[in-house]
Amino acid sequence: MTDFLNYSQLPFIMFCILAIQAMSLQVVLGGTGLLSLGHAAFYTVGGYTSAIFTVFLAPKLGIENQTLLLLLACCVGMISASLAGLVVAIPCLKLRGDYLAMATLGVGEIVGTVFKNLDFVGGTRGFKDIPKLGSPLLIFLVMIAIAFFMVRFYKTNIGYAVRATRDDEISAQSLGINIYKTKLFSFFMGTSIAGLAGVFYAHTLQFISPDESGFYNSVVLVLAVVIGGMYSVFGSIFGAFIIVVVPELLRFIPSFVNPYLTKLADYGIISKSFIPIFDSIFSNRTLVFSVLVIIIMLLNPKGVASLFERFQNRMRKTHE
């Protein structure tokens, strides 16, 4: 059991962090309908700045208390990420749809390049030896808290304004909603939560690399949001769960299937050289995962949450 706990601790932390990140993107992407392909940039900014704070600034200020340190690191991370978000959003939110996606894609790459060139945080090698703060339980609780906060948020006036902007900008405007400010607010909120995720990432793995802000990571976030269902907060958590857990499970496939394969090879149905190829295919988890993603998208482009909705609707119909 302890083995299992030790083994599953890292995937669990990664799941919680990815879920926080996915929810932070969900406000922007599902809530407001802004396609951001550079969201990982903001969480990298949050991670880096908070790490800079705890490594360089905190010892000078003489902050010893771990709780206070974590609290301040979170504040620093959130503020810096949301400021970065505002710097990007104020000009870029004037762009629409695909063009916004292109611009934010650029932001991710630019942030990576900037951190690669900052030598005092390790340059291309990444920022090492960040002090360890926070615990898995704490991150999990933060994730739950954010989830409930987000669900509440969608029921406030500004939450309705956000969704109205997504559904129809012109109608929203005619109801007196300031579209630009609403978008700005959702971007601000999304990026600050992303910053928080970055703080936890940097201070549990004790390492953050400039490659973190790259295109691939942003896409993983979009994936988490879309797999779970764009319009659902809990869908994002589910998406993060799939992205973290499924590749971990795929790891076990060769050990399950290999005995049967060797039997088949003994009977001469398949050639023996097939087994190492099969092994290398399944040990390459990204490969299997990418196939799974394509299949999931083809079967159900609206995400898993829509299955839930369909189920709920059916339940309602049977009650009527």
Partner 1 sequence: MSDFLQAIIDGVAIGSLYALIAIGYSMVFGILQFVNFAHGELFMLGAYFVMLFLTMGAPVWAALLFAILAVGTIAIVIERIAYKPLRKHNRLAPLITAVAMSLFLQNVVQVLFSPNSLSYPVNIPGTIVTLGDLYVRIRDIGIFILTILLAFCLELFLNKTKAGQGIKALAMHSEASKLCGVPFDRTVSLTFFIGALLAVIAGTIQGMATNQIFPLMGVNAGLKAFAAAVLGGIGDLRGAVLGGLFLGISESMLVSYELSTYKDGFAFVILILVLLIRPQGLLGRAQLVKV
Site of interaction with partner 1 (CB under 8 A): 29, 35, 91-92, 94-99, 101-103, 105-107, 109-110, 112-114, 116-117, 215-216, 219, 222-223, 226, 230, 277, 280-281, 284, 286-287, 289-291, 293-294, 297-298, 301-302
Q: Which is nearer to partner 1, 116 or 203 (CB)?
A: 116
Q: Which is nearer to partner 1, 1 or 170 (CB)?
A: 170
Dist. CA 126–CA 138, nearest whole Å: 25
Where is 301: in which H helix or E strand? Answer: none
DSSP for 200-225 reads: HHHHHHS-B-GGGGSHHHHHHHHHHH
Contact (CB, 8 A) for 23 and 236: yes
Q: Is 118 helix (H, G, I), strand (E, B) or coil?
A: coil
Dist. CA 112–CA 115, nearest whole Å: 5
Least Å distance between CB 200 and partner 1?
Answer: 25
Least Å distance between CB 101 and partner 1?
Answer: 8
Dist. CA 172–CA 179, nearest whole Å: 7
Q: Which is nearer to partner 1, 62 or 301 (CB)?
A: 301
Least Å distance between CB 306 and partner 1?
Answer: 11
DSSP for 39-51 reads: HHHHHHHHHHHHH
Least Å distance between CB 232 and partner 1?
Answer: 15
Beta bridge partners of residue 127, listed in sequence order: 208
Q: Which is nearer to partner 1, 66 or 290 (CB)?
A: 290
Q: Which is nearer to partner 1, 154 or 215 (CB)?
A: 215
Q: Which is nearer to partner 1, 66 or 124 (CB)?
A: 124
- The length of the chain in residues reads 320
Least Å distance between CB 231 and partner 1?
Answer: 11
Using CA atoms, how far residue 165 sits from 160, 172, 182, 228, in Å, is: 9, 6, 8, 22
Using alpha carbons, select from 61, 42, 83, 25 the residue that is nearest to residue 237: 25
Least Å distance between CB 15 and partner 1?
Answer: 20
Contact (CB, 8 A) for 103 and 92: yes
Least Å distance between CB 157 and partner 1?
Answer: 26
Q: Which is nearer to partner 1, 96 or 310 (CB)?
A: 96
